[in-house]
Homo-oligomer: A and B are copies of this chain.
Amino acid sequence: MKNINQQKTEVVVVGSIALDTITTPAAMRRDVLGGSVSFACVAASFFANVGMVGIVGTDFPEKYIRLLRRFGIDLSGLQREQGRTFRWSGVYEQDMDNRRTISTDLNVFAGFSPELPESYREAPFLFLANIAPDLQLKVLSQARSPRFTAADTMDLWIRTARDPLMEVISKVDMLLLNDSEARELSGESHLVKAAARLLEQGPRYVAIKKGQHGCMVLSEGDVFLMPAYPVPEVHDPTGAGDAFAGGMIGFLASSGRLNTAGVRRAMAAGTVAASFAVESFGLEKLARISRADIKQRGSEFMRMIRMPAA
């Protein structure tokens, strides 16, 4: 696809694109735009110029292409292949904390082989959203000395592809994962110990996502704890972790501060992006807000977590 964005790509995100069918206690929606790369790119686009790498089938709705373009996302890395787009279907229980997967149809995603377009290869920031570690390694080998790389993962790869996953972890600047994944991958039930164990594998930062309970980031000699923004009404938690990661890396790219202080600020940006994402199905809410809304909620969140001087 044609690159409609003439500005330099600052952040490249690689991951899945899916059409999600989601049931919550309040509603049900079919074929909503989802997938890790969709949420992460959209969230990052509030802060930086973003290039997407992913794959869709011939059935992928044009309206979603237009939606992604409206966020200014560079789609030169978006492959369109003969066949159907990846589809996922799931149900959230009453408290929205637990979800059950009803079906997963990989379709064209099963044959995904990510390729960074030439215009992406110099991008300073690279986020490897949740895909098979082998593919994450392939992308890493294509990038030309990025300034900062981050990778997410999931329980499936911890169980079925541990070796390539550990290789990914040894090569990135930041590992992101949720609390249960951190426990499973490290063998430690205490999250600070789990993060410390994973830090030994090579990354400078290990960020553990705890959903509505916030997040934690460990780096050498530094522990950061942050609550989540208390979203008044959660409509659909799908993609929250990807929006968090995307907002975080987009913010890092815009600030250029890659030290612990900069990462703390970036985590807050990610939290705010995720808080908007869960207020609607798919990307609906993120499509309705502006950078000013992000900034305003960011200031509100800063006031909510600020510890005054003694």
* A residues with CB within 8 A of B: 190-193, 210, 213-214, 216, 222-227, 230, 232-233, 261, 264-265, 268, 302-308, 310
Contact = CB atoms under 8 A, between A and B. Distances in A.
A307 B225 contact: no
B226 A227 contact: yes
Nearest to A299: B310
A307 B304 contact: no
Nearest to A222: B303
Question: Quick one: which of A191, A227, A265 has the most chain B CB within 10 A?
Answer: A227
Contact of A307 (B213, B222, B223, B268): B268
22 contacts: A190-B230, A190-B233, A192-B230, A192-B232, A213-B213, A216-B230, A223-B230, A223-B303, A223-B304, A224-B304, A225-B227, A225-B230, A225-B305, A226-B227, A226-B307, A261-B308, A264-B306, A264-B308, A265-B307, A265-B310, A302-B307, A305-B305
Contacts of A192: 230, 232
A193 B234 CA distance: 13
A305 B190 contact: no
A225 B304 contact: yes
Give chain A's interface secondary structure class: mixed
A224 B305 CA distance: 6
Nearest to A262: B308
A48 to B, nearest CB: 16
Question: Quick one: which of A193, A214, A265, A310 has the most chain B CB within 10 A?
Answer: A310
A308 B265 contact: yes
A303 B261 CA distance: 11
Contacts of A190: 230, 232-233
A305 B214 CA distance: 12
A214 B193 CA distance: 19
A260 to B, nearest CB: 8
Contacts of A268: 307
Contacts of A265: 307-308, 310
Nearest to A233: B190
B305 A226 contact: yes
A268 B308 CA distance: 11
A264 B190 CA distance: 26
Contacts of A193: 232
Contacts of A264: 306-308
Contacts of A213: 210, 213-214
A307 B306 contact: yes
A277 B264 CA distance: 29
Nearest to A267: B307
A296 to B, nearest CB: 14
Contacts of A302: 307
A183 B306 CA distance: 25
Nearest to A95: B189
A270 to B, nearest CB: 13
